[in-house]
Structure 1
Amino acid sequence: MRHRGSAVLIKDHEVALVKRIKDGCTYYVFPGGGIESSETPEEATIREAYEELGVRISIIDDFGRAYFNGIQYFYLAEIRDGVFGTGKGLEYTDKSRGVYEPIWVNISRLASLDVRPKEMAKKIHRLFN
């Protein structure tokens, strides 16, 4: 069981997601990853956003929790600098993990996609659509 920190980045009625293709399955996740032993959930979210997306973010607010193989912490955040899509984390160099593609998705499309966890996608759709 490993806890995770994830960023909820919203811009121009779109949300940042990572399109995953693994073992023939396509789904979408929020940018984020495992919390290291020396990190807070917020620190992990900031680090993971840089590794996965290539952007530096500022946390705005706590957005909620989800429970799946540990606690997943979600934070509403904004991009401070960097270039979206230029992440250089391990997920981009270790091809055994499948495909990772940072994308912006219109919030109105969230209900039609396999976004994990679904409860966070529904919350975003409800609040921002």
Structure 2
Amino acid sequence: MGTRSCAAIIKDDLILMVRQTYKGNTFWTLPGGRIEPSEKPSDCAIRETKEETGLEIEIIDLVCAFFNETIDGLYYCYLGRVIGGKAELGTEPELSTDSQELKELRWFPISKMKNHKEVKRVLAFVREKQIVTKCRVLNLWS
């Protein structure tokens, strides 16, 4: 897979996820994908979110960055805020119509996704930030 960047988009106690099939496995994940050569991880999260969800976002903060053995590369996750667009399942421009990996787009109640490995990191980050900057975090998704 290589180095990957994604965005967590939370609004009204919901988190946006995409259902994707990759190498025969289907799973729910945060919108994101491979970082292009000379692309910043934050720019990749913005681009991939637009491609996969139709939403334009701005980056609020870096949630985490670490080496991920599963993808054999660096994994970046950002907290994003919607600034435009309409939520609809996108396509991957490098894949043909019959080989698209994106299957579904859905807003999930955070309470139902709190044990998802990616969402757990995001929730821990948001909790930590609320302690430090309560007013700022409460206004992130308004």
Structure 1 residue 77 corresponds to structure 2 residue 80: yes
Moved over 6 A (4+): none
Figure out how many residues of one structure are paired with residues of the other and give that number.
122
Structure 1 residue 89 corresponds to structure 2 residue 87: no
Matches within 5 A, 1:24-103: 25-66=25-66, 67=68, 68=70, 69-90=72-93, 93-103=96-106
Structure number having the greater strand percentage = 1
How far 1:37 moved relative to its partner? 0.5
Taking the aligned partners of 1:79 and 1:44, their CA distance within structure 2 comes to 15
Q: Tell me, yes or no, if the aligned pair for 1:91 and 1:100 is still in contact at 8 Å.
A: no
Task: Decide whether aligned partners of structure 1 residues 93 and 108 sit closer, same or farther in structure 2, where only a CA change above 3 A counts.
Answer: farther
How far 1:52 moved relative to its partner? 0.4
Give secondary structure in 1 for the equivalent of 2:76: strand
Once the two structures are aligned, what percentage of the paired residues are identical? 33
Task: Decide whether aligned partners of structure 1 residues 48 and 36 sit closer, same or farther in structure 2, where only a CA change above 3 A counts.
Answer: same
Structure 1 stretch displaced more, 14-23 or 51-60:
14-23
Q: Tell me, yes or no, if the aligned pair for 2:92 and 2:100 is still in contact at 8 Å.
A: no
Aligned amino acid, residue 107 of structure 1: I
Q: Tell me, yes or no, if the aligned pair for 2:5 and 2:44 is still in contact at 8 Å.
A: yes
Give secondary structure in 1 for the equivalent of 2:43: helix
Aligned amino acid, residue 107 of structure 2: W
Give secondary structure in 2 for the equivalent of 1:90: coil
User: What do the CA deviations read for 1:37-65 (whole angstroms, capped 9, x no partner)?
Assistant: 02000111111011000111100000012
Other-structure match for 2:136? none
Other-structure match for 2:7? 7
RMSD: 2.3
Aligned amino acid, residue 34 of structure 2: G
- Could you list the runs of 5+ residues in structure 2 that have no partner in the other structure? 128-142
How far 1:26 moved relative to its partner? 3.8
Q: Please give the TM-score of this superposition, normalised by the length of structure 1.
A: 0.80
- Could you list the runs of 5+ residues in structure 1 that have no partner in the other structure? none
Task: Decide whether aligned partners of structure 1 residues 98 and 64 sit closer, same or farther in structure 2, where only a CA change above 3 A counts.
Answer: same
Q: Tell me, yes or no, if the aligned pair for 1:108 and 1:125 is still in contact at 8 Å.
A: no
Aligned amino acid, residue 57 of structure 2: I
Q: Please give the TM-score of this superposition, normalised by the length of structure 2.
A: 0.73
